[in-house]
């Protein structure tokens, strides 16, 4: 009876390894949402996919991200840049539709093949994001689109697509908003509200698009596991707030991006064998 209340640990995964990876992923997500560490939340994506598989990773992660955004938004009231938000959102919705069509095309695959293809997609997206962030850590700016309403729509489209199939588009939006020279508080607040709206808009896809096993990405099974780890979110955001004034951000970012690169690289290597 008690065992059925615990998270569902996949066969072949040691319980200690499952709890370590999922717990660390949720804590890192909370830290990233606090505004500390920039886009280090990207590490959570391959870390979770490593122990639960990419399909369940998507389903478990989305409710956690929404909970993170709901908890973080009140701390940034009055620091939302509505002009830039309105410019990004149409592209974001279009990107979610594109991402949904990609998942629709992949949904007919046998579960094992779907997980393999999605592992490669998740792994390569994570490596691309890490490469982009590593380039920024050298002090150089990532080349971006020129300031124009069409640029915001394009960034929203790319971010919406990546977010739908990977749940890890934060750095894409962050780089665009950094080009807009927003103060850090407004940058963080605008990003949190953007992703709250975008993540809520992804719910119909995750709840109603059935995969090859007949279940949608968010099922009672994944929701049960998400609820288990929600208490770690405020712990992560509080940790991020504490780290702001006590820990140097750059070494922390380097460590997190290196871990993300190794984890994503391992996922790719494992699924190419």
pLDDT value at residue 39: 73
DSSP for 203-227, written as a single string: HHHHHH---TTS--SS-HHHHHHHH
Rounded to a whole number of angstroms, the distance between the first and last alpha carbons of the chain is 39
Give me the helix-helix angle, 54-72 and 220-229, nearest 10°.
Answer: 50
Q: E strand or H helix at 103, and its extent?
A: helix 82-106
For the chain, residues with pLDDT lower than 50 are 1-2
Q: State the Rg of the chain over Cα.
A: 18
pLDDT value at residue 1: 44
pLDDT value at residue 207: 95
In tens, the pLDDT along 49-58 reads: 989 988 899 9
pLDDT value at residue 156: 92
Q: How many CA atoms does the CB half-sphere of 56 hold within 13 Å? A: 22
- Exposed / middle / buried, residue 150 (Cβ in 10 Å: 0-12, 13-18, 19+): exposed
Q: How far is CA 55 from CA 10, 30, 207, in A?
A: 12, 21, 13
């Amino acid at each position: 009876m008690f065992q059925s209340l615990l998270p569902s640990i996949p066969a072949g995964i040691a319980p200690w390894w499952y709890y370590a990876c999922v717990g660390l992923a949720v804590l890192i997500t909370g830290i990233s949402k606090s505004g500390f560490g920039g886009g280090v939340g990207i590490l959570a994506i391959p870390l979770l996919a490593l122990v639960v598989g990419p399909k369940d990773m998507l389903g478990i992660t989305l409710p956690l991200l929404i909970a993170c955004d709901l908890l973080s938004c009140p701390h940034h009231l009055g620091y939302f840049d509505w002009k830039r938000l309105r410019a990004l959102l149409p592209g974001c919705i279009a990107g979610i539709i594109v991402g949904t069509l990609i998942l629709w095309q992949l949904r007919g695959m046998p579960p094992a093949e779907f997980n393999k293809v999605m592992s490669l997609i998740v792994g390569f997206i994570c490596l691309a994001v890490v490469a982009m962030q590593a380039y920024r850590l050298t002090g150089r700016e990532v080349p971006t689109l020129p300031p124009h309403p069409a640029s915001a729509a394009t960034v929203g489209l790319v971010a919406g697509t990546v977010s739908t199939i990977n749940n890890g588009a934060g750095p894409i939006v962050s780089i665009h908003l950094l080009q807009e020279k927003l103060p850090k508080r407004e940058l963080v607040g605008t990003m949190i509200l953007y992703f709250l709206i975008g993540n809520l808009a992804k719910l119909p896809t995750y709840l109603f698009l059935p995969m090859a096993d007949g279940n949608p990405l968010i099922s009672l099974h994944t929701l049960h596991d998400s609820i288990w780890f929600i208490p770690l979110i405020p712990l992560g955001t509080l940790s991020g707030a504490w780290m702001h004034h006590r820990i140097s951000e750059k070494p922390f970012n380097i460590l997190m991006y290196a871990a993300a690169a190794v984890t994503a690289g391992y996922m790719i290597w494992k699924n190419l064998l």
